[in-house]
Amino acid sequence: MNMKRKNNAIFLGAGELYFAKDGKYVVTVLGSCVSLTIYHKLSGYAGMFHALYPECKDKDIENIINKPEAYKYADCAVLKILKLFEEKEIPKEELDIKLFGGSEIISKSKKSVFSVGKQNVEKIQEILHKEGVSITTINTGGSDGRKIIFNSKNGGVFMKKIKNINISDEYELMKKNKGIRELAI
């Protein structure tokens, strides 16, 4: 992962996943993208991802989830992060899971609404339901972007809504905070 670190904070860019037991603050900016924060109180392990699209076209999920580019897809990112907790022998029912993002962002240049935000949210909810995992907090949809600050030391999340965000704004915010790759928008 190419996450940018600054003091006790990490900026999580689009298509990145964080999993550790280091008590860092993890920050990301979302529009139609989604983030899932996961915390396990007893072990102190925490995880978060920032996914752009609902599903990976590669149907060999077991193969693709081990590739870093897989984290830009909600389905692969959810399965990978759950697998990381499972590898630490952490029961799914003990996880504190929070879901954010999935706004319906309007492109200034195209004057159209992208439904990818709603699709991202639905895909994550579908997979977590199949896995028998509950979400404790959901803040999704709408037309505002979100800045998320995840405290991986205690599982707390600070969320600030960003008014009038659009696809190019989300991209510029990510680019400013981290030298990201070109996004296929």
CATH number of the CATH domain containing 16: 3.30.1330.200
CB 86 within 8 A of CB 38: no
Examine the pLDDT at 167 and tell me if it is beyond 60: no
The answer to whether residue 181 sits within a structural domain is no
pTM above 0.85, yes or no: no
Torsion angle, alpha carbons of 71, 73, 75, 77, to 10: 10
Instruction: Tell me the mean pLDDT in the region 64-85.
Output: 88
CB 12 within 8 A of CB 2: no
More confident residue, 54 or 68: 54
Per-residue confidence (pLDDT) for residue 7, from 0 to 100: 67
Instruction: Tell me the mean pLDDT in the region 136-153.
Output: 95
The answer to whether residue 105 sits within a structural domain is yes
When divided into structural domains, the chain yields a total of 1
The answer to whether residue 154 sits within a structural domain is yes
The answer to whether residue 168 sits within a structural domain is no
The answer to whether residue 172 sits within a structural domain is no
CB 84 within 8 A of CB 24: no
Q: Sign of the CA dihedral 94, 78, 52, 104? A: negative
Examine the pLDDT at 66 and tell me if it is beyond 90: no
The answer to whether residue 170 sits within a structural domain is no
The answer to whether residue 111 sits within a structural domain is yes
Examine the pLDDT at 16 and tell me if it is beyond 60: yes
Per-residue confidence (pLDDT) for residue 169, from 0 to 100: 52
CB 50 within 8 A of CB 150: no
The answer to whether residue 169 sits within a structural domain is no
Of the listed ranges 7-11, 34-38, 113-117, 171-175, the least confidently predicted one is 171-175
CB 174 within 8 A of CB 147: no
Per-residue confidence (pLDDT) for residue 178, from 0 to 100: 44
Per-residue confidence (pLDDT) for residue 129, from 0 to 100: 96
Please, what is the angle between helix 74-87 and helix 116-130, to 10°? 30
- Containing domain of residue 57, as a range? 4-161
CB-based burial label for 66 (10 Å; 0-12, 13-18, 19+):
exposed
More confident residue, 156 or 104: 156
Examine the pLDDT at 58 and tell me if it is beyond 80: no
* Phi, psi for 165 (deg, rounded to 5): -75, 145
